[in-house]
Amino acid sequence: MAFFSSLTPVFIAIICVLIGALLKKINGEKEKSETKSKPLSRPWVDEDLKDGNDHRLEEEEADEVWQGLDENVAHVPFFAERYSEAEMIKRSQMFYELLNKRRSVRFLSDEPVPREVIDNVIRTAGTSPSGAHTEPWTFVVVQDPCLKHKIREIVEEEEEINYKKRMGDRWVNDLKRFRTNWIKEYLDTAPYLILIFKQIYGKLPNGKKKTHYYNEISVSIACGILLAALQNAGLYTVTSTPLNCGPQLRVLLQRPANEKLLLLLPVGYPKKDATVPALTRKPLEDIMVLM
């Protein structure tokens, strides 16, 4: 009996150790589960630049069958202009040579640009394909000097924080060879600023939300067509994605909550002393796979 009594403290110690190990394992699995469920912290990620295709309509709206679209759209004959093979090769080569001259220009002149040209390039961008033909884009054209300067103030304030805190050393170092920083003089000097907003959803006649399928991709394609149209007209720009500026610019420009800023383009002629980095583009064999 005395023997068992002497072993009791040992048994108690062993039991305590086992209970402690079990609790530690349970807590570890709980923390691991919580870590998995939490999104990774990425302070440089701009909410406006996230893909809007994850937008979820409210349950009663998602169940709505009618989207306000005419189910009986007439289909009409399509007539296409066809070129000879020689003409096709010539036109494709000329178009490539035109767009191969496109460069991102940060030194833009304040020389006036005809308004009609801006209207035409926006019309051209509006010919872009879109998911279910929802055309989920808004092009805000700013020419007022005071408004342009307010945009510059917002962008530069946020960009300074981006460069110093949000972007990180690797991103900042990758940009050094382009000699970029948070100072954006072109936002004042360019005769026009074009801010492209993606509409993450639309509105039905009954006031409910209307799904805009692939809105991010659709608007991005429209931006590409816009860049080509600007180059074709002899105008230049630099593609700017002002990180964390979207909400402030949306308020400044009085845009609705369903619109998120995707791109900001200063548009104009290059200054006479403008410079660009001496860059080369990948050759065809590096970007095309023929199977």
Per-residue pLDDT of the chain (291 residues; tens, 9 = 90+): 554 455 566 566 666 666 666 666 666 655 555 544 444 445 555 566 555 454 444 444 444 555 656 678 899 999 999 999 999 999 999 999 999 999 999 999 999 999 999 999 999 999 999 999 999 999 999 999 999 999 999 998 888 777 777 777 787 777 777 787 878 999 999 999 999 999 999 988 888 899 999 999 999 999 999 999 999 999 999 999 888 889 999 999 999 999 999 999 999 999 999 999 999 999 999 999 999
Measured CA to CA, the distance from residue 119 to residue 117 in angstroms comes to: 5
291 in a structural domain: no
Measured CA to CA, the distance from residue 115 to residue 177 in angstroms comes to: 35
Q: What is the CATH number of the domain that holds 174?
A: 3.40.109.10
214 in a structural domain: yes
Q: Are 193 and 264 in contact (CB under 8 A)?
A: yes
Measured CA to CA, the distance from residue 245 to residue 248 in angstroms comes to: 6
166 in a structural domain: yes
Q: Which of 81, 147, 141, 79 is nearest to 116 (CA)?
A: 141
Residue labelled with tokens 């009663």? 60
Token readout for 20 is: 């402690």
105 in a structural domain: no
Domain span at residue 185? 110-268
Q: Which amino acid is at 134?
A: T
Q: Which amino acid is at 149?
A: H
Q: Are 57 and 202 in contact (CB under 8 A)?
A: no
Q: Which sign, positive or negative, has the C-alpha torsion 281, 120, 214, 255?
A: positive
79 in a structural domain: no
289 in a structural domain: no
Half-sphere exposure of 247 (CA within 13 A, CB side): 4
64 in a structural domain: no
Q: Which amino acid is at 84?
A: S
Q: How many domains does the chain have?
A: 1
Alpha-helix residue ranges (DSSP H) falling in the chain? 2-37, 59-62, 85-100, 115-125, 145-161, 168-175, 186-189, 215-232, 246-252, 284-287
134 in a structural domain: yes
